[in-house]
Structure formats: C-alpha cells, structure tokens
C-alpha cells in the first residue's frame, strides 16, 4: 500500500501542499494541517492511512471506509460530525469542518489515484518534501529523516 511520506528535512513550510489540497477539494477545508515541533520547525500533519485505522473502528455511523487500495475515506452523506473518529485518531489529523456536521480527512485524492496520478499535495510540493511511496520503502528512510534536528529537540518519532 502506498502512503504520503513527509521528509521534514526538506519541508520549507510553504503550505503549497495545503493549497493544492484545498484546490483539489473545494467543498472541504484542506486536510493537511501544520504543527510546530519546535520554535523553528514547522511541519505538515497528514493522515497516515493506517493498516488498522482507529478512526474507522470508532465511527458509530460507518462513515469511514477503507478502500481496496488502503486509502481511508469519509463517506460524506453518512458522517454526522460526532467527532469520535477525531478522538480515536492517534495522530490528531482529523478535525471538524466549518460545517458542524462533518469532519475533514485526507482521502489520498482517490480520484487522482484512479487516473494513475499522485495525490495533489505530493505533485505540488516545490521542495520535494512529500513523496507517495510503498510502505516498505518508507520503513528504511524513517530512521534517518529528522537527523538534522537530533540533539536540538527531545522528540523521538517514527514516520
């Protein structure tokens, strides 16, 4: 299964990925959030499309589905905006939309995937910080990503 991989060493926090997401999904808020790891380190937070998604298991309406390609998608007409998926997400990437009855969540640009294209955020990133790769390929990189911050911030993380 492919996922979006964020290389924080290359991210320049320009938010072009967020703009591309917004352009590709005009009816919803961008599903790429930005967080501050340290006072001088900002990075994008994107849905990781987990193998065993807690958001899917916690949704009482069955509004979150896992597609055949592994992407986790919200079914707009089933979502009541209860927020249980947002509470269950261990990465904190699901947020309520401005409309109080739905949530906002990355769907990996499923329409683009069906056309053989990569997600809009990956295509738009000018620094090459976002890539769309198989999970096995990402595992080898996860140890070295963020090495430039080692010793400056007491955070241990795995991608």
CA dist 44 → 21, 58, 79 (Å):
12, 24, 25
Radius of gyration of the chain (CA): 16
pLDDT of residue 138: 54
Among the residue ranges 17-21, 110-114, 149-153, the one predicted with the least confidence is 149-153
Query: The whole model's pTM is what?
Result: 0.57
Q: Which long-range contacts (CB under 8 A, 24 or more apart) does 114-117 make?
A: none
The CATH T-level fold of domain 1-46+121-149 is: Alpha-Beta Plaits (3.30.70)
- Spell out the residues 6+ positions from residue 156 whose beta carbon is closer than 8 angstroms to its own: none
pLDDT of residue 156: 41
Greater pLDDT, 139 or 149:
139
Q: Mean of the pLDDT values across residues 7-31?
A: 79
**Pairing verdict, β 72-74 and 64-66:** antiparallel
pLDDT of residue 41: 57
Mean pLDDT, the chain, integer: 76
What are the strands, taking DSSP E only, across the chain?
2-6, 33-38, 41-45, 64-66, 72-74, 95-96, 103-104, 130-134
Domains 1-46+121-149 and 50-105 share a fold: yes
pLDDT of residue 125: 93
pLDDT of residue 115: 92
The answer to whether 124 touches 115, Cβ cutoff 8 Å, is no
pLDDT of residue 127: 92
The answer to whether 132 touches 99, Cβ cutoff 8 Å, is no
For the chain, the domains span 1-46+121-149, 50-105
Choose the CATH number for 50-105 among 3.10.180.10, 3.30.70.20, 3.30.465.10, 1.10.10.10: 3.30.70.20
pLDDT of residue 151: 45
Q: Mean of the pLDDT values across residues 97-104?
A: 58
- Spell out the residues 6+ positions from residue 144 whose beta carbon is closer than 8 angstroms to its own: none
How large a percentage of the chain has pLDDT more than 90? Answer: 16
Chain segment 111-144, per-residue pLDDT in tens: 888 899 999 999 999 999 889 888 775 555 554 4
């Amino acid at each position: 299964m492919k996922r979006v991989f964020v290389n924080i060493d290359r991210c320049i926090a320009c938010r072009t990925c967020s703009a591309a997401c917004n352009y590709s999904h005009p009816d919803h808020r961008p599903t790429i959030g930005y967080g501050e790891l340290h006072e001088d380190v900002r990075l994008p937070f994107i849905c990781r499309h987990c193998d065993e998604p807690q958001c899917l298991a916690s949704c009482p309406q069955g509004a979150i589905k896992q597609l055949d390609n592994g992407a986790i998608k919200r079914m707009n007409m089933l979502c009541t905006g209860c927020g249980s998926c947002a509470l269950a997400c261990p990465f904190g990437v699901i947020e309520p939309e401005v409309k109080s009855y739905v949530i906002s969540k990355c769907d990996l640009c499923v329409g683009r995937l069906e056309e053989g294209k990569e997600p809009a955020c990956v295509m738009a990133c000018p620094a090459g910080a976002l890539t769309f790769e198989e999970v096995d390929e990402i595992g080898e990189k996860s140890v070295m990503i963020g090495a430039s911050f080692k010793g400056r911030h007491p955070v241990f993380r795995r991608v």
